[in-house]
């Protein structure tokens, strides 16, 4: 398992074995784990199913898996290997109707659309794919509205500019997307301390926050973060 900075542009570090880390987060009462094979689409291969099975056997909280998903059979395989939800990204942009087909077959609650965003040369929020290397020409808010209309159950919104920097979430981006759609948005990218998570929950309409570096590279564990959010008056699952 690795933790990149800005999708690899700023390097990446090894952070342990997936199954071992899953056990740790399970013991700290995670609400959900998002497990992404970040190289699958870029390398033109399918998800690492054996790794997913290993994680699922060691984790008893809801698990979202994604990476390289291009067919309904891919989704079925991921669900059979232990995923509760499946994240689609690159192929959804190539074939938006795939979102509708997947939601109709497996249910809206099962289909998560992952949207990776960075500011382009014009200063606009643009959707990128292939680990942030390929521009799509799609506006982040417009794409979020489209995936909502097509039947996505949730959006995993990642700021490429903030990802791995531990400098805080991109609040304007999260605010713009979460205010434009009616489905839950999970804010991702930039958490470096406990206040960063509170800030995005308090100042946007996002329903959840995803984080990684704060748990790998700071003195905060998941239980401490959830206690901080609870003491800040934010609704969290009982700890």
pTM over 0.95: no
Q: Which two tokens stand for residue 31?
A: 């609400």
Q: What is the pLDDT of residues 136-150, one digit of tens each?
A: 999 999 999 999 999
138 in any annotated domain: yes
Buried b (16+ CB within 10 A) or exposed e, 37-48: bbbbbbeeebbb
Domain, as residue range, for 62: 2-223
As a whole number of angstroms, the distance between CA 27 and CA 17 comes to 16
Reply yes or no on whether the pLDDT at 54 is more than 80.
yes
Whether 232 is in a domain gets the answer: no
Q: Answer whether residue 87 is part of any domain.
A: yes
CATH code where residue 201 lies: 3.20.20.70
Residue 233 lies in a domain: no
Please check whether residue 234 lies inside any domain of the structure. no
Q: Provide mean pLDDT across the span 183-188.
A: 97
Tokens 């794409």 sit at which residue?
A: 143
Q: Which residue reads 């880390």 in tokens? A: 21
Residue 77: per-residue pLDDT? 95
Q: Are 163 and 5 in contact (CB under 8 A)?
A: yes
- Domain count for the chain: 1
- Mean pLDDT (the chain) is 89
Is 153 part of any domain?
A: yes
Residue 164's alpha-carbon distances to 5, 214, 216, 232, in angstroms, are 4, 9, 11, 24
Over residues 76-111, the pLDDT tens digits come to: 999 999 999 999 999 999 999 999 999 999 999 999
pLDDT tens by residue, 202-234: 999 998 999 988 988 888 889 999 999 999 999
Residue 61 is assigned to a structural domain of this protein: yes
**Per the domain annotation, does 230 fall within a domain?**
no
């Amino acid at each position: 398992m690795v933790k990149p900075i800005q999708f690899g542009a700023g390097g990446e570090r090894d952070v342990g074995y997936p199954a071992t880390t899953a056990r740790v987060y399970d013991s700290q009462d995670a609400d959900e784990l998002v497990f992404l094979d970040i190289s699958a689409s870029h390398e033109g291969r399918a998800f690492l199913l054996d790794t997913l099975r290993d994680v699922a056997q060691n984790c008893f909280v809801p698990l979202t898996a994604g990476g390289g998903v291009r067919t309904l059979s891919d989704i079925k395989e991921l669900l059979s290997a232990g995923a509760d939800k499946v994240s689609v990204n690159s192929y959804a942009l190539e074939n938006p109707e795939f979102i509708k087909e997947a939601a109709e077959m497996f249910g809206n609650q099962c289909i998560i659309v992952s949207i990776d965003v960075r500011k382009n040369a014009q200063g606009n929020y643009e959707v990128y794919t292939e680990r942030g290397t390929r521009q799509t020409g799609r506006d982040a808010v417009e794409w979020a509205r489209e995936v909502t209309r097509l039947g996505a159950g949730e959006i995993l919104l990642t700021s490429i500019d903030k990802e791995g920097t531990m400098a805080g979430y991109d609040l304007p981006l999260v605010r713009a997307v979460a205010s434009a759609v009616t489905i839950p948005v999970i804010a991702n990218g930039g958490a470096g301390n406990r206040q960063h998570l509170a800030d995005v929950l308090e100042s946007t309409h996002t329903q959840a926050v995803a984080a990684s570096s704060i748990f790998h590279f700071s003195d905060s564990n998941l239980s401490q973060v959830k206690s901080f959010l609870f003491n800040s008056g934010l609704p969290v699952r009982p700890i």
